[in-house]
Every structure is written in C-alpha cells, then in structure tokens.
C-alpha cells in the first residue's frame, strides 16, 4: 500500500504543478487513469481481499473515488481468466509443452505458471457476427455507392486494426476465421454492387505478391495513374504470428492535411450525374441546405441525383453545366454516359 500511495501522490503532485487550478485537473487525470488497472498477486485469497479493502478505503478517503464492487473482481488465474482491455489474462498450464533447456541440457516445461493473454471467445464471435445476418455471411449494401478501391481498403483496414490490437494474444491464429468471413463478405459486397457472381469478382481481383521474402495471395484493386505510381488496395497479406514483444501503439497517427474531398471531386472534371468528361464549360456544384431536404422531394419517384446525394450522404454534387441547369429548372436529366 505504501508503494501504491507514494506512486499516486507523486502523480498528484506532478499534475497539480502543471495545472492552473490543480484540483480540477487532478480529478480528470485520475478518472482517466484508474478505471482500467490490474494487480497480480501471489498468495492466499484472504490476503487479496484485505488488499482490495485497503484500496477501496484509500481511493475513497484520499482521492474521493468509489471503487466499483461489480467490476473489481478477484480472479483465480489458474482456473479462470480476468478480462482486461479486451484481453483474457490467465495463467498458462500445459504439461506437454517442453521447449526450454535447463543448465543440464534437459527439456523442461517452459509454459506452466507464465501469464498469457488470449482473445476471448465471445469477442471473436462478436467480431464475426458483424458480417453475418441470420447466421449467414452478408454483403454490406451501405458500401455499394463507394468505389471498389474504397470498399477493399476499408475491409483491409478493419481487419488489420483487429489483428494489430490482439497481436499479444497467444491464440491470434484464431482470427483466421474472421479473415475468411470478412473475405466472403467483401466479395459478396462487390458482386452485389456489380450485379455479378462472387467467383467472377474473385477472378477479376485475385493477385499474388511478395513481401519481405514471403509470397502472399489475396485480392487487389489497382488504379493506374499517368506519371505516378498506381494506387493499390489490397486484401490479405496480414500475418497472424504471435509476437510477445509487440508494442501496441494506441495513439492516433499524425495526418497531414491533404486536399479536401470536394476539391478532389472538382479536380477530377467529371460530372457525377451523367459521367461526362473533357468538359469545355467549367464544372459546377449543386448544393442543398440539409440532407433532410432530400426526403421532402414532392415527386413520386425521387430522381437519380436525389438518390445519389442521399446514398453518399453529401450535400454537394459536382455537375456539368447542362445537368446543373436541368436540376435547377426541373427538367429530365441525361442518362449516365460511359466513362471509357
């Protein structure tokens, strides 16, 4: 208790010196730091209960915080697992695992008694169920208005984020089930968007590449660019190897300010209604006051430009002058032209 008390008091003194008001900043710092913490203890359960009681008294009297009795649990690490930051923390036990040699050169049990982190079964099930409906893998119709490049990049980012977070788990290989489910969902989404079969989408985007001396097979969308390296969105190639020394970086990455989405759409010089390119007249932007105004359109069937803005959830639409005038005067719009 003295160690914990001195540690907290040092933190408190440091924060008070930095803050203007002191008290308010101290409360915010401790409230953010105390909810997620774990104590490892070797000894009888009765002694651990006494330590828990001392912690409760210390937090209440010194820091004016209440220890949640429903969330602060005492877990026997050998027979149970403690949930901490999305991991199950437990003590490993496997008599058949003999990998470490002692001083005499004999193999000994190197796993028993060590602390291990694993992915909880219910967490894996929850991640998989996000891509299912009625116990069947589903497509994601909300992504059909995005490009194939954006859809594949989104799936890869979602899967990579889960894998990197659980890189410390010794059962990381179980995420291969999630990879297969997400791959089926990805191909179903692309097939539903293009009104074709899943097999045709797999044949269209299947790819093989080499990275760090390892050959990977997966899916890849390539967008060639004149005078620049092509844009590539890849599905696959993420290792599921357990790394006990991995560092989990939970800080948001530094992002440089690039071009805004509207600016990119203007520079593309493509009418988003009819698909016309090589325009002689300047490109124009149709703007509405709010997205809810799209629901008030009096026509029986909403025109395509209304459906397009509603699907993208954007209040702007980049148009050629002809299409913009047709929208303003309520005239029928031209059909979608080929961009080839």
Question: For each of the chain's 340 residues, which pLDDT tens digit applies?
Answer: 444 444 443 443 333 333 344 443 333 333 334 467 777 778 888 888 888 888 888 888 888 888 777 777 888 877 778 888 888 888 877 766 666 666 666 666 667 777 888 999 999 999 999 999 999 999 998 888 888 988 999 999 999 999 999 999 999 999 999 999 999 999 999 999 999 999 999 999 999 988 888 888 999 999 887 777 888 899 999 999 888 787 766 565 555 545 566 667 777 778 888 877 766 677 888 888 888 888 776 656 778 888 888 887 888 888 888 888 888 887 777 655 444 3
Q: For residue 163, which of 174, 152, 153 has the smallest C-alpha distance?
A: 174
Please give the model's pTM, rounded to 2 decimal places: 0.64
Q: Is 27 exposed, middle or buried (0-12, 13-18, 19+ CB in 10 A)?
A: middle
End-to-end CA distance of the chain: 73
Instruction: Name the maximum alpha-carbon separation found in the chain.
Output: 91
CA distance 111 to 100: 9
| Kind plus residue range of the DSSP H or E element containing 26 | helix 23-33
Where helices occur in 206-275 by DSSP H, the ranges are 261-267
CB 273 within 8 A of CB 308: yes
Name residues whose C-beta falls within 8 Å of residue 59's C-beta, 6 or more positions apart in sequence: 34, 65, 66, 67
CA distance 116 to 93: 10
Local structure of 225: helix, strand or coil: strand
Residue 289 CA, distance from chain mean position: 32
∠ CA 165-254-251, rounded to 5°: 35
CA distance 238 to 157: 11
CA distance 339 to 337: 6
CA distance 244 to 118: 11
CA distance 294 to 305: 10
∠ CA 38-43-49, rounded to 5°: 60
Buried b (16+ CB within 10 A) or exposed e, 122-149: ebbeebbeebeeeeebebbeebeebebe
């Amino acid at each position: 208790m003295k160690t914990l008390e001195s540690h907290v008091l040092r933190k408190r003194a440091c924060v008070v010196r930095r803050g203007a008001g002191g008290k308010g900043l101290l409360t915010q710092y401790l409230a953010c730091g105390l909810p997620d913490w774990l104590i490892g203890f070797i000894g009888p359960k009765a002694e651990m209960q006494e330590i828990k009681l001392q912690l409760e008294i210390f937090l209440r009297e010194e820091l004016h915080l209440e220890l949640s009795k429903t969330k602060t649990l005492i877990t026997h690490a050998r027979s149970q697992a403690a949930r901490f930051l999305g991991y199950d923390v437990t003590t490993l036990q496997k008599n058949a695992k003999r990998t470490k040699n002692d001083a005499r050169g004999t193999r000994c049990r190197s796993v028993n008694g060590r602390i291990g982190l694993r992915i909880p079964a219910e967490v894996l099930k929850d991640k998989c169920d996000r891509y299912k409906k009625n116990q069947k893998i589903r497509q994601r119709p909300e992504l059909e208005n995005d490009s194939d490049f954006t859809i594949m990049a989104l799936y890869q980012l979602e899967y990579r984020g889960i894998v990197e977070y659980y890189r410390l788990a010794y059962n990381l290989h179980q995420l291969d089930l999630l990879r297969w489910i997400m791959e089926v969902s990805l191909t179903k989404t692309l097939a539903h968007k293009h009104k074709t079969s899943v097999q045709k989408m797999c044949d269209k985007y299947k790819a093989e590449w080499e990275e760090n001396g390892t050959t990977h097979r997966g899916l890849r969308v390539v967008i060639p660019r004149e005078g620049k390296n092509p844009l590539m969105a890849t599905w696959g190639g993420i290792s599921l190897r357990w790394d006990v020394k991995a560092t989990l970086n939970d800080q948001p990455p530094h992002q440089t300010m690039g071009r805004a989405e509207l600016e990119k759409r203007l520079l593309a010089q493509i009418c988003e209604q009819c698909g016309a390119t090589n325009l002689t007249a300047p490109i124009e932007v149709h703007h509405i006051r709010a997205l809810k105004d799209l629901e008030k359109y009096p026509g029986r069937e909403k025109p395509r430009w209304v459906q397009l803005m509603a699907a993208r959830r954007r209040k702007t639409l980049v148009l050629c002058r002809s299409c913009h005038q047709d929208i303003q005067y309520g005239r029928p719009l031209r059909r979608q032209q080929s961009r080839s």
